Amino acid sequence: MKIMRHDQTALCSYCRLPWEELTPVAAADPELRFDEYSVEGEPVCCTAAVAEFRSERGTTAGIRKSVKAEQTDLGWRVRWQEGRLLRARSFGTQQGADKFVQYLRQGGVA
């Protein structure tokens, strides 16, 4: 979500970086876009902003896939795919892992 400061600088409400949007040229260039689902006008600052942008348009394509918690010998692990990256994070309790899964599914930043 874009917010305006008193000096008229637009900032991302998630990461507080200056608000920038993907240009048509950047959306067409695989080296400049977030993933193959990126479109013109999409924010470029953080995955949470991208997730909100896409969910407002009825898609979560490419943001997070297969978010799941699984028990391990030492506790719990949350695994997810973010863009082209496979990521994981460990937790001591199932409750902690479940809260993190919910956070990610709501567009939280990992």
- Residue 64 confidence (pLDDT): 61
User: Which comes out higher in pLDDT, residue 38 or 96?
Assistant: 96
- Fill in the DSSP letter of residue 33: S
Instruction: Based on the fold, state whether residues 34 and 10 are members of the same structural domain.
Output: yes
Q: What residues contact 86, with CB distance under 8 A and at least 6 apart?
A: 79, 80
Range with the poorest average pLDDT among 30-34, 74-78, 95-99: 30-34
Instruction: Based on the fold, state whether residues 49 and 74 are members of the same structural domain.
Output: no
User: Which comes out higher in pLDDT, residue 42 or 110?
Assistant: 42
Give the other-Cβ count within 10 Å of 108's Cβ: 15
Position 110 in a domain: no
Give the structural domain span for 42.
Answer: 2-56
- Fill in the DSSP letter of residue 45: S
Instruction: Based on the fold, state whether residues 9 and 47 are members of the same structural domain.
Output: yes
